[in-house]
Structure 1
Amino acid sequence: MSDVAAVLSYARSFDGRVADVLPAAARRVPALRRRVADAGVAPHELIDTASLDRVPILTKDGLLDLQRAEPPFGGVLDPDARISRIFQSPGPLYEAELEGNDHWRWGSALAAAGFTADDVVLNAFGYHLSPAGAMFEEACRALGATVVPGGVGNLDLQVRACADLGVTAYVGLPSYLKALLERAEAAGHDPRAWPLARAFVSAEPLPPSLRTWLAGRVAVVRQGYGTAETGNLGFESSAVDGLHVPDDALVQVCDLSTGAARYDGGDGQVVVTILDARAPVVRFGTGDLSAWATDEAGDASIATPRIRGWLGRVGDAVKVRGMFLHPRQVQQVMTGLDDVDAYRFVVDRVDHRDVLRCELVPAGAADVGALRSAVRERVRSGLRFDVEVTAVGELPDDARITDVR
């Protein structure tokens, strides 16, 4: 149940951890020290969850600004923090994975989906610069499971691996799982006869039609929600109704006007605090909208309340294939193309898969073929997206990014 009392109880369960971690962290971690001082808050005043409302929300753009001012991480780490991996997300934004087990805390989400040490897991999240592949490999290893590091691509080889290795579980994009199973069926395999029994999907929508299609071939399909900066922020239970928030990260739904945490069922921004003294995340605004679920559904064996899932975005950024596309990034990539009079990026969804299209108005004497190639290469190298480029006669005066999904 996720009534007001349950949400308040969940929030207050972090009071002791706030008092134990943040006063010292606010003295040692440069960016947090500045944020707290700018808010007029003394470190010793960070004594409970309620006191966090005094610290302004840090947006993703704000984090980008911190990293540009103090590269590479923006002063968000304790000086003695030990880093095991560094990732790069579009922006570019750099994320540090610290030493230790399951840094991104996805293990509990996989366990709730039935993953165990006996599983052989195909990890189809990307391993190249972005953190998703490593996030879920660490989670699987924390459970003792065996991992096949598939990444994205090479569908034929991954179909063969599933058949040869007896893969029992999958983590990755839901659209990629559909493509994998379709490729298997086209090659003469029957995925229903495989031991593949469970899938945990994330980073893009899972509409009912796609869930039904997948569930006809994989017995258990669960989804989770998180970000590159914060890791696990929510996961489905057996009830498949909303997302239980984790008990090792403070997830709040905050009023869009005041920034204060709200505990009713109203919409707000998902804001996260992670109480790790080595890399404290304090009031990080994901830019996602959600609300607390207020019904009786959910899994009674999971103590944390539920959010209703992804309800939209704050501002103009758009999530495409699990990564955010910001107008500022688009402008940076397109700057300097003299043969383009106007452009916009359109996000569409085809066969349950996000598709990015660039519509542009060429200048009068432009070589359209060369222009298409130049834009594709700029977007691929600058944003790490594949893009369809279409020349059009005119464009409306609207946003640089249009979401028609």
Structure 2
Amino acid sequence: MADHYDDVETRDPAEREASLFERLPEILKQAAKAPAYAERFNGVDLDRIGSREALATLPVLRKSELPGLQKGALPFGGFVSSSPGSFGRLFTSPGPIFEPETDALDPWRAARGLFAAGFRRDDVVLNTFSYHLTPGGFIMDSGARALGCAVIPAGPGNTEQQFELIEAYRPVAYCGTPDFLKILLDGAASSGRDVSSIRRALVSGAAFPKSLQEEFSARGIEAFQAYATADLGFVAYETPAREGLVVNEDIIVEIVRPGTGDPVPEGDVGEIVVTTLDPRHPFIRLALGDLTAVMRGTSPCGRTNMRIKGWMGRADQATKVKGMFVRPEQVAELGRRHPELGRLRLVVTREGETDLMTLMAETDGPNDALANSLSASLQSVLKLKGLVTFAAPGSLPNDGKVIADERKLG
């Protein structure tokens, strides 16, 4: 059995990086045909956006903003230059967010992740992701069929009918949430149904703890996870090395400080930002609202692309203090005003019936003048008074949190 989907996965990282950024300017020009991107790129020489440093100068597009932007310019918020009728399928996902699917063979770039999970030509795949309105079912379906698999479009729920399908078609592979796979296995065990044909699984859409992975393995199923979204398809996927998730080909992943578009040092936890190189429907610096960190080195499986640690929480840490919202963007502004500081962490607690804010700041030179200046900046930016404390460089948690709400309410 071949270990890799193709030679692209094992090429020299420098070659991959050069290829991505050589292609990027033309993708940006394609994106700029859409009015919303044209406005965002106004005054930018797109031919000069040929490196990670240059890409980081473009504004991020926050996924959380898409519902409002699309509502103002239906259906795609002005970020797609083609008409809806020129696409293959049209979807909606919670938000609502409207998404088109191109007519490419594997439009969501799922085949590589499925291949890494052991899916092969002529396999029968039970796909339990939903085919109704959302793209989840079609993401897996198109990737599996691109590999030459036959797909049972089962969708979620209705376990009795699922058992009938499994016993009739004998699928060797499963796509769906890990939770539903456990429901199927437990239900089959209690009712005497035979689901023993399933030997491989690609799961997504829910937490996949090691304990559940080991339970599936004990039942004869090797299950791997993927990080995918309804907007982008497969962003990263697990491989047999079981060391993080390998970033997919033909996309650029950045990890930025929450509330900014500024890349963090390698290894720091930050928000996932993705640029896709699909000329029909490019996304440029889409900030997904999820936290992760880059893992150093390359995977023992032989794939040489960047690895990430997987989902590590949400980047949207906005919270209310004394009736006013405080946001990661405001903490980032404090960092810009005081570049001599390291990590910042705004801790919100409660003292009696009063909210209390404390800004923790890393510095190797704490002094009263800096404390007073930082206190003034805190009040100026957040419009609220708060305490300031200093911490040694590198001592604050590397968890991507810039706002920690530690109140015990209710």
1:4-403 alignment to 2 at 5 Å? 11-26=17-32, 28-37=33-42, 40-79=43-82, 82-189=86-193, 191=195, 194-256=196-258, 258-294=260-296, 298-316=299-317
Report deviation, 1:217: 1.7
Report deviation, 1:190: 5.0
Query: 1:106/1:263 Cα in 2 relative to 1: closer, same or farther (>3 Å)?
Result: farther
Q: 1:272–1:282: 8 Å Cα contact kept in structure 2?
A: yes
Alpha-carbon separation, structure 1, partners of 2:268 and 2:248: 20
Q: 1:18–1:49: 8 Å Cα contact kept in structure 2?
A: no
Sequence identity (%) = 36
Alpha-carbon separation, structure 1, partners of 2:13 and 2:57: 20
Q: Deviations over 1:317-336 (max 9, x none)?
A: 9xxxxxxxxxxxxxxxxxxx
Give unmatched runs, 5+ long, in structure 2: 1-11, 319-406
Report deviation, 1:64: 1.7
Alpha-carbon separation, structure 2, partners of 1:11 and 1:313: 28
Query: 1:316/1:117 Cα in 2 relative to 1: closer, same or farther (>3 Å)?
Result: same
Alpha-carbon separation, structure 2, partners of 1:262 and 1:10: 21
TM-score norm. by structure 2 comes to 0.71
Report deviation, 1:35: 1.3
Alpha-carbon separation, structure 2, partners of 1:316 and 1:257: 9
Q: Which moved more, 1:152-161 or 1:247-256?
A: 247-256
Say what the alpha-carbon RMSD is for the aligned residues: 2.2
Alpha-carbon separation, structure 1, partners of 2:121 and 2:297: 33
Query: 1:8/1:269 Cα in 2 relative to 1: closer, same or farther (>3 Å)?
Result: farther
Q: 1:14–1:49: 8 Å Cα contact kept in structure 2?
A: no
Q: 2:239–2:301: 8 Å Cα contact kept in structure 1?
A: no
Report deviation, 1:120: 0.3
Name which one, 1 or 2, has greater alpha-carbon Rg: 2
Q: Secondary structure of 1:281's match?
A: coil
Report deviation, 1:251: 1.4
Report deviation, 1:150: 0.7
Corresponding residue pairs, total: 310
Report deviation, 1:263: 5.0
Report deviation, 1:212: 1.3
Q: Which moved more, 1:241-250 or 1:13-22?
A: 13-22
Q: Secondary structure of 1:121's match?
A: strand
* Larger relative contact order (CA 8 Å, sep ≥ 6): 1
Alpha-carbon separation, structure 1, partners of 2:192 and 2:30: 60
Q: 2:31–2:79: 8 Å Cα contact kept in structure 1?
A: no
Q: 2:174–2:200: 8 Å Cα contact kept in structure 1?
A: yes
Q: 2:88–2:101: 8 Å Cα contact kept in structure 1?
A: yes
Report deviation, 1:142: 0.5
Q: Secondary structure of 1:78's match?
A: coil
